[in-house]
């Protein structure tokens, strides 16, 4: 594998469970040092995709390479370069945080320092506590710590911050940013669109086993989806208009009203708005216009 080869490369990935289609031709590439987010509703195929790439599931069709290796045949050497944070874990946890990390560090050639990792995930005060005694969010941080202890080239994070409070989430983002800065390639699935917007360089929105949008975080969904929305009130009635030139419209409004328009807002659709539009259109086959109305209402 060359420096420039994609870390993950997937072409026309298919997965069927009997007659049920789980993945219907997914293609994507993740490059070195990139943080890539997979977004989509429950059951859309995010976890199926990530578990195929982790080697937990076999694909029905298509091609997949992770670090240049087919994940279906990946051996010990291959696994030593991966970090996997699974969606849920429920181990008995009769070991302490330090013991667990020290033990797992022994699986890798060049592991991170155990104390530093514990500090990075914010568990220094719990280092000597048994994992069973930790809260859900704290156990999740142990999962993340186990995922990064081996200094992985590629880190899989499957809904890593589910159950975190806002402060813990911010802390976690800081940790991921420091991993990014070290050059770790990251594949992230999340339900939190702000998280994807904050952490990811690129994202794919997946729905019904297909990628419905793929691109840079600030370009995903296309230009039209990002047309800013201007809202104001005129004689008590709510008004709104989509425009590429919000400043022009605001200036016009100011002239019209001879001063500050009442309740003025300029809104640039967030990733979440765009995502809801993408997923909404595809999951309900609503006509485009109706869907954008829905989004406008939700704004």
Partner 1 sequence: MSNSTVTATGTATESGIPHIDSIVRTLKLGFSRIGYELKLYFRQGDSVFFSFLFPILMLAVFAVAFSSAGNIGTRPDGTGGITFAAYYLPGMVAAGMLLSGVQNLGVDIAGEKGNGTLKRLAGSPLPVISYFIGKIGMVLVSAVFQAILLLLVARIAFNVELPTDPNKWWLFAWVFLLGVITSCVLGIALSALPRSGKSATAVVIPIVLLLQFISGVYLQFSMLPDWLQNFASIFPLKWMAQGMRAVFLPDSFKAVEQTGTWDLGWVAIVMLIWFVVGLLLCKLTFRWIRKDT
Residues that bind partner 1 (CB under 8 A): 1-2, 17, 54-58, 67-70, 73-82, 84, 86, 88-92, 94-95, 99, 103-104, 106-109, 146, 150
Q: What are phi and psi of 21, to 5 degrees?
A: -90, 120
Q: Kindly tell me which of 156 and 275 has the beta carbon lying closer to partner 1.
A: 156
Q: Kindly tell me which of 143 and 277 has the beta carbon lying closer to partner 1.
A: 143
Q: Kindly tell me which of 131 and 217 has the beta carbon lying closer to partner 1.
A: 131
Q: Kindly tell me which of 62 and 228 has the beta carbon lying closer to partner 1.
A: 62
Residue 137 beta carbon to partner 1: minimum distance, rounded to whole angstroms = 17
Q: What are phi and psi of 44, to 5 degrees?
A: -75, -25
Residue 78 beta carbon to partner 1: minimum distance, rounded to whole angstroms = 5
Q: Kindly tell me which of 59 and 126 has the beta carbon lying closer to partner 1.
A: 59
What span, in angstroms and rounded, lies between the C-alpha atoms of 206 and 9? 16
Give every strand in the sheet of 202-207, ordered side by side: 82-85, 154-158, 185-189, 35-39, 202-207, 210-216
Residue 120 beta carbon to partner 1: minimum distance, rounded to whole angstroms = 19
Tokens standing for 98? 């330090």
Q: 6, 40, 35: which is closest to 23 by C-alpha?
A: 40
Pairing of strands 185-189, 82-85: unpaired
Tokens standing for 40? 């989509």
- Tokens 């995922």 locate to 147
Q: What are phi and psi of 177, to 5 degrees?
A: -60, -35
Residue 97 beta carbon to partner 1: minimum distance, rounded to whole angstroms = 14
Residue 25 beta carbon to partner 1: minimum distance, rounded to whole angstroms = 19
């Amino acid at each position: 594998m060359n420096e420039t080869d994609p870390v993950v490369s997937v072409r026309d990935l298919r997965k069927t469970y009997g007659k049920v289609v789980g993945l219907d031709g997914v293609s994507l590439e993740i490059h070195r040092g990139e943080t890539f987010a997979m977004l989509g509703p429950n059951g859309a195929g995010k976890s199926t995709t990530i578990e195929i790439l982790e080697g937990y599931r076999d694909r029905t069709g298509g091609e997949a390479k992770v670090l240049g290796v087919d994940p279906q045949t990946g051996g010990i050497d291959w696994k030593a370069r991966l970090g996997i944070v699974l969606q849920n874990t429920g181990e008995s946890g009769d070991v302490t945080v330090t013991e667990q990390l020290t033990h797992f560090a022994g699986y890798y050639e060049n592991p991170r320092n155990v104390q530093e990792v514990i500090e990075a995930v914010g568990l220094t005060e719990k280092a000597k506590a048994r994992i069973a005694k930790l809260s859900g969010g704290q156990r999740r941080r142990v999962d993340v710590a186990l995922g990064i202890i081996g200094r992985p080239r590629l880190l899989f994070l499957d809904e890593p911050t589910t159950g975190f409070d806002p402060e813990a989430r911010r802390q976690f983002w800081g940790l991921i940013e420091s991993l990014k800065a070290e050059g770790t390639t990251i594949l992230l699935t999340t339900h939190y669109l702000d998280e994807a917007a904050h952490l990811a360089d690129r994202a794919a929105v997946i729905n019904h086993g297909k990628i419905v949008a793929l691109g840079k975080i600030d370009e995903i969904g296309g230009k039209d989806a990002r047309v800013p929305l201007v809202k104001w009130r005129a004689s008590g009635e709510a008004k709104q208009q989509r425009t590429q030139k919000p400043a022009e419209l605001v200036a016009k409004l100011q002239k019209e009203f001879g001063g500050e328009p009442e309740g003025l807002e300029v809104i640039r659709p967030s990733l979440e708005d765009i995502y809801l539009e993408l997923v909404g259109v595809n999951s309900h086959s609503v006509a485009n216009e109706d869907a954008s109305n829905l989004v406008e209402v939700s704004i």
